[in-house]
Structures are given as C-alpha cells and as structure tokens.
Chain A
Amino acid sequence: QKEVEQNSGPLSVPEGAIASLNCTYSDRGSQSFFWYRQYSGKSPELIMSIYSNGDKEDGRFTAQLNKASQYVSLLIRDSQPSDSATYLCAVNGDNFNKFYFGSGTKLNVKP
C-alpha cells in the first residue's frame, strides 16, 4: 500500500501571508509529484507538478521536492481568500501511470 501523508488541517493564514503545505510519501521509487486544489463540492484541479529535486515556481505557487527525505511541499505566496480550498498531494507508484493521493490539507485564508 502506497502511503501519501498530509496534515488534514485546517491551516489558517492571514491574507497576504505565505501558506506552506507539506506532504510525505513512502515509495522511494516515486518519480512524479503533483498538487491539486479542490474547492468545496468541486472536483480536483491540477495546479503544480514536479519531477526533480529542488524548487519549481509558477506565479504565486512554488513546489519543492526532496526525494532523499521523501517529502514534497507547496508554498503559496501572497495568499488570497480565493486560495481557500483543500490541497491534495499526489504521487505516482511503481506503475508510473497510477497515482496515489493524500487525504488533503484544508487551507483557510482569512481576509
């Protein structure tokens, strides 16, 4: 069983602050890592993917990967109330086309 662990939260941050979301995974063979955003009652939406160690930036979002420590994180700069959602971490398994999702971290950005 592949394990993808996330703190369920809720994580509360004030508007304009940096939100930091973390995820750990158990399978050292994992190669692909993703962050999805899911608004309440809606479907997941892919926001970031990362495949190599280090940082990947896209607008206000930065994904960080450390394969040695088996964690991946998502930083959201200048957090906005519209960022309030559940963020799901996904990791591929030994079948590279198959992805395992964490239970998600609920983020609340307070105006």
Chain B
Amino acid sequence: DAGVIQSPRHEVTEMGQEVTLRCKPISGHDYLFWYRQTMMRGLELLIYFNNNVPIDDSGMPEDRFSAKMPNASFSTLKIQPSEPRDSAVYFCASGRRPETQYFGPGTRLLVL
C-alpha cells in the first residue's frame, strides 16, 4: 500500500516564479494537511482539508500561498510569486482521523 506521495521531491526556483507542490493522500483518508518545516520555525500547519473542503487555512502565511483539493486523491499547494524566505521542506500528511497522520516524504524547496 503506497504511502502519501509528494512531487516534486526537490524544487529549485528563482524568486518571483510560481511553484506548485503536489500531494496524493493515502486512499480512504478523509483528512489532508499541508505543513512547512524550517530550522527557525519548526513544523507549522499551513492548511488542512476534510473531505476535500478546506477547514482551516489560518496558517497560510500570506496571499501568495494557496491550496486546493479538487478531489479525494489530489491536492496542490501553490506559491505565487515565490520568495527566498519560502525556502523550506513542505510536507503533506493524510489520515482517517486527525490524530493519526501519515506524512509524505516532503518537498525540499529552495528559492534563489
């Protein structure tokens, strides 16, 4: 059974470019979470979905960030325009319940 799948695994881009991160949750999981991890701020929840509906996006840092979940098997996190301070590891996690989250391998983003 495949775990949470994220793509790309690594992304290097230049400031001002649009970045799209993708996530395929584990089949049957109703909850999907997007996190960002940096040395300075640790692991932060950006947004989470329940049954494809965004429930809490209060962690999204600013309007440059947006997330969608068009169906139960796919979600995207978009940054437009990207800035160097967006450099981080972005994790997607899914679970049947919020208490049991399975994390994907993460996307390492570097904005130059």
Asked if A34 contacts B99 (CB within 8 A), the reply is yes
Q: Whole-angstrom distance from the CB of B46 to the nearest CB of chain A?
A: 11
- Known contacts A97-B48, A97-B50, A98-B56: does B100 contact A46 (CB below 8 Å)? yes
Which B55-105 residues have C-beta < 8 A from chain A? 55-56, 91, 98-105
**A102 vs B104: C-alpha distance in the bound complex, in angstroms?**
19
Closest to B104 in A: A43
A72: CB under 8 A from chain B?
no
Among B48, B98, B106, residue most surrounded by chain A Cβ atoms (within 10 Å): B98
Q: Tell me the smallest distance from the CB of A42 to a CB of chain B, in Å.
A: 8
Count class of interface residues, chain B: 10 to 19
Instruction: Check: A99 CB closer than 8 A to any chain B CB.
Output: yes
> When chains A and B are docked, how far (Å) is the Cα of A96 from the Cα of B56?
11
Interface size class, chain A = 20 to 34
A43 x B55 contact (CB < 8 A): no
- Interface SS, B side: strand
Residues of A69-111 contacting chain B, CB below 8 A = 88, 92, 95-104
A44 touching B50 by the CB < 8 A rule?
Answer: no
Q: Are A44 and B99 in contact (CB under 8 A)?
A: no
Q: Is the CB of B42 within 8 A of A32?
A: no
Per the bound structure, the CA–CA distance linking A97 and B102 in Å amounts to 14
Cross-interface CB contact of A45 among B50, B103, B106, cutoff 8 Å: B103
Answer yes or no: B12 CB below 8 A from chain A CBs. Answer: no
CB<8 Å pairs between A and B, sample of 26: A34-B99, A42-B105, A43-B91, A43-B105, A43-B106, A44-B43, A44-B91, A45-B103, A46-B101, A49-B99, A88-B43, A92-B98, A96-B98, A97-B31, A97-B48, A97-B50, A97-B55, A97-B56, A98-B98, A99-B45, A99-B98, A99-B101, A101-B42, A101-B44, A102-B42, A104-B43
